[in-house]
């Protein structure tokens, strides 16, 4: 399983902060996003290609082709606005 986290506006829009998701067959960030987009219109829209979201894997910034394995912590969030 993956531990998947959502933050800020994405967390509010999708109505979930944390959940467990099986490692997808296509075991990359892109594979996980494809599965999430199939959950419905809201998910497909919030996580659409070209939308401004970021992904971190095990607390490091990640890319679409970053590999995933059981036990990984994946976080999906909007561009950061601290400081």
Regarding 83 and contact with other proteins (CB under 8 A), the answer is yes
Identify whether the C-beta of residue 4 lies closer than 8 Å to the C-beta of residue 76: yes
Residue 23 tokens read as 């490692």
H or E stretch covering 77: strand 73-77
Regarding 59 and contact with other proteins (CB under 8 A), the answer is yes
Give the span between the Cα atoms of 52 and 68, in whole angstroms.
Answer: 21
- Residue 3 C-beta: closest distance to other proteins, Å: 12
Regarding 82 and contact with other proteins (CB under 8 A), the answer is yes
Q: Which is nearer to other proteins, 38 or 59 (CB)?
A: 59
Q: Which is nearer to other proteins, 3 or 37 (CB)?
A: 3
In 10 A of CB 14, how many CB atoms? 18
Site of interaction with other proteins (CB under 8 A): 5, 7-9, 52, 56, 59-61, 75, 77-83
């Amino acid at each position: 399983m993956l531990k998947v986290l959502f933050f800020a506006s994405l967390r509010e829009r999708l109505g979930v902060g944390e959940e467990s998701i099986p490692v997808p067959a296509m075991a990359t960030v892109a594979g996980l996003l494809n599965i999430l987009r199939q959950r419905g219109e809201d998910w497909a829209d919030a996580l659409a290609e070209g939308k401004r979201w970021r992904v971190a894997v095990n607390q490091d910034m990640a890319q679409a082709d970053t590999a995933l394995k059981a036990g990984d912590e994946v976080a999906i969030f909007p561009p950061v606005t601290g400081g």
